[in-house]
């Protein structure tokens, strides 16, 4: 995940063909990193790291957090699904996942009119399951 972060993709709009190609790459990076994170969490546990630890742990923390944020923002129907909500609840209970990244994800999720009602209800259900409050 550290080598395929979306920040390696340009957002320069001076060449719109390249921009569209880079947006596709960015979207694929986010999806691939999400799949890696969830596969790891299911197989091992959520990659808990302390923010005040070694630099590699700091990088792991932000790689996981940014992957969560980007997925919550771009694919809320995936991030707030029953399956992921349950997985994150288990990892919270184990002490592997803190509230901070979940609160950040709830904050970044646009609960406006563009979000379908079914997805809004999933966001609210996940927030309740995690003991948190979604942004309205």
pLDDT, position 12: 75
pLDDT, position 23: 82
Q: What are phi and psi of 9, to 5 degrees?
A: -105, 130
pLDDT, tens digit (0-9, with 9 covering 90-100), for 21-80: 888 888 888 899 999 999 999 998 888 756 566 555 667 778 888 899 999 999 999 999
Residue 127 or residue 56, greater confidence: 127
pLDDT band at 118 (very low <50, low <70, confident <90, very high): very high
Fill in the DSSP letter of residue 97.
S
Q: What is the mean pLDDT of the chain?
A: 85
Compute how many other C-beta atoms are within 10 angstroms of the C-beta atom of residue 136: 7
pLDDT, position 18: 82
Task: Kindly provide the residue ranges of all beta strands, DSSP E only, lying in the chain, ordered along the sequence.
Answer: none
- As a whole-number percent, the residues of the chain with pLDDT over 70 amount to 82
Report domain extents, the chain.
6-129
Q: How far is CA 22 from the centre of its chain?
A: 20
Q: Which two tokens stand for residue 133?
A: 């409050």
Whether 129 has a pLDDT exceeding 90, the answer reads yes
């Amino acid at each position: 995940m550290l080598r395929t972060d979306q920040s390696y993709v340009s957002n320069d709009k001076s060449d719109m063909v390249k921009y569209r190609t880079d947006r596709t790459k960015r979207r694929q990076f986010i999806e691939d990193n999400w799949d890696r994170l969830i596969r790891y969490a299911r197989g091992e546990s959520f990659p808990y790291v302390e923010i005040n630890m070694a630099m590699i742990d700091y990088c792991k923390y932000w790689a996981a957090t940014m992957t969560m944020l980007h997925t919550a923002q771009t694919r809320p129907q995936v991030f707030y699904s029953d399956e992921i909500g349950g997985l994150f609840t288990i990892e919270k209970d184990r002490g592997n996942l803190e509230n901070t990244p979940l609160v950040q994800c709830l904050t970044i999720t646009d609960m406006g009119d563009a979000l379908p009602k079914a997805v809004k209800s999933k966001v609210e259900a996940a927030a309740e399951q995690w003991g948190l409050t979604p942004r309205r």
